[in-house]
Amino acid sequence: MGQWSIVHWLVVLGIVVVIFGTKKLRNIGSDLGGAIKGFKEGIKEPTKEGEAAATTTNAEAAPQRVAKSETIDVQAKEKSSTL
């Protein structure tokens, strides 16, 4: 009685298909596959070309930020307590 046989798993699979439907299960499977693929691409070590591109992009972006002098002036207000 304590063992899970193939018949038990087929019944569970049948119930899941009836509840969710095949289209929703297919969408879940493709979403899961895409997430795994994205994760694998994310943990790959960057290539030398990728490192060089990232370095030049960061180096070029910093002087542009300084040259634009984008500062935001704000006025600080004290919090009034109403006790």
pTM over 0.85: no
Report pLDDT digits (tens) over 56-83: 555 455 444 444 566 677 777 777 776 6
User: Interior CA angle at 59 toward 58 and 65, to 5°?
Assistant: 80
**Residue ranges per domain, the chain?**
19-44
- pLDDT higher than 60, residue 52: no
26/38 Cα distance (integer angstroms)? 18
Instruction: Give pLDDT tens digits for 7-42.
Output: 999 999 899 888 888 888 888 889 999 999 999 988
